[in-house]
Amino acid sequence: MKTTKELLGARIKELRKAKGLSQEKLSEKVGIDSKHLSRIEVGKSYPSLDTLEKIANALHVEIKDLFEFIHLSPSKELTDSISKLLKEADEDKLRLILKIIRAVVR
52 and 95 inside one domain: no
Number of domains the chain contains: 2
26 and 41 inside one domain: yes
Please provide the DSSP assignment of 5-65 as one string: HHHHHHHHHHHHHHTT--HHHHHHHHTS-HHHHHHHHTTSSPPPHHHHHHHHHHHTS-HHH
57 and 16 inside one domain: yes
Query: Which CATH number goes with the domain that contains 22?
Result: 1.10.260.40
Residue 72 has pLDDT above 80, yes or no: no
45 and 87 inside one domain: no
Look up the pTM and report it: 0.67
37 and 18 inside one domain: yes
27 and 60 inside one domain: yes
Q: What domain range is 38 assigned to?
A: 4-72
Separation between Cα atoms, residue 93 and residue 102, nearest integer Å: 14
Residues near 27 by beta carbon (within 8 Å), at least 6 away in sequence: 33, 34, 36, 37
pLDDT tens column, 77-92:
677 788 888 999 999 9
Report the pLDDT value the prediction gives residue 65, as an integer from 0 to 100. 93
47 and 95 inside one domain: no
